[in-house]
């Protein structure tokens, strides 16, 4: 049809691995079946006053969103082991990250660490080295990634995998 532009086929996902000292981030671009690395790293919140650390996470993510223009975000959920205080701080760091994303108008998707490992490695009990290997393999990256950045890229990739699976299921239901 003349005068009607096609919807953009690519989208960007910001993956976030929240932490109260370091918050990992990873940005990937999806264009059809292609997945491309854009950027990754960590926001260094440090060990100062906790309110300032949360503010650093919030403003750091706002700057990343302004720079890379993601269309959606994926955030890792809190894993509670034994230390309740650590879990509470991690939850607050997640809150700062979610507020930055929601405030920028991004859809926020949340995934458990187990779901991320399942999506990338095929089993929820995979170790960090296996997840890092799959992140590098899928994105065609060489060398070692910073752990927080690799985890954030894994969250973004898990979201894409989850999305693609949902689309295949919907297509199967529509054709059957």
CA dihedral 27, 99, 63, 59 (to 10 degrees): -130
Out of 67, 148, 151, 163, pick the active-site residue. 148
3-state class of 27 per DSSP?
A: strand
Helix (H, G, I), strand (E, B) or coil at 73: strand
Q: Tell me, yes or no, if 148 is annotated catalytic.
A: yes
Residue among 76, 110, 151, 163 flagged as catalytic: 76
The count of C-alpha atoms lying within 13 angstroms of the C-alpha of 28, restricted to the half-sphere facing its C-beta, is 31
Which of 17, 29, 52, 67 does the annotation list as catalytic? 17
Our answer to whether residue 76 is catalytic in this structure is yes
The pair of three-digit structure tokens given for residue 142, joined into one six-digit string: 């060489």
Q: Is 127 a catalytic residue?
A: no
Q: Catalytic residue numbers?
A: 17, 76, 148
């Amino acid at each position: 049809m003349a005068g009607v532009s096609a919807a953009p086929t690519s989208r960007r996902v910001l993956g976030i691995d929240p932490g109260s000292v370091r918050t990992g981030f990873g940005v990937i671009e999806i264009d059809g079946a292609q997945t491309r690395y854009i950027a990754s790293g960590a926001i260094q919140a440090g060990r100062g006053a906790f309110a300032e650390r949360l503010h650093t996470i919030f403003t750091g993510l706002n700057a990343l969103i302004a720079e890379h223009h993601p269309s959606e975000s994926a955030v890792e959920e809190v894993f509670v082991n034994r230390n309740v205080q650590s879990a509470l701080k991690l939850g607050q760091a997640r809150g700062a990250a979610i507020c930055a994303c929601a405030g920028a108008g991004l859809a926020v998707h949340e995934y458990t660490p187990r779901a991320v490992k399942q999506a990338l490695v095929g089993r929820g009990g995979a170790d960090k080295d296996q997840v890092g290997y799959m992140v590098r393999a899928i994105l065609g990256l060489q060398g070692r990634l910073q752990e927080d950045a690799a985890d954030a890229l894994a969250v973004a990739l898990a979201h894409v995998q989850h999305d693609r699976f949902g689309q295949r299921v919907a297509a199967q239901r529509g054709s059957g």
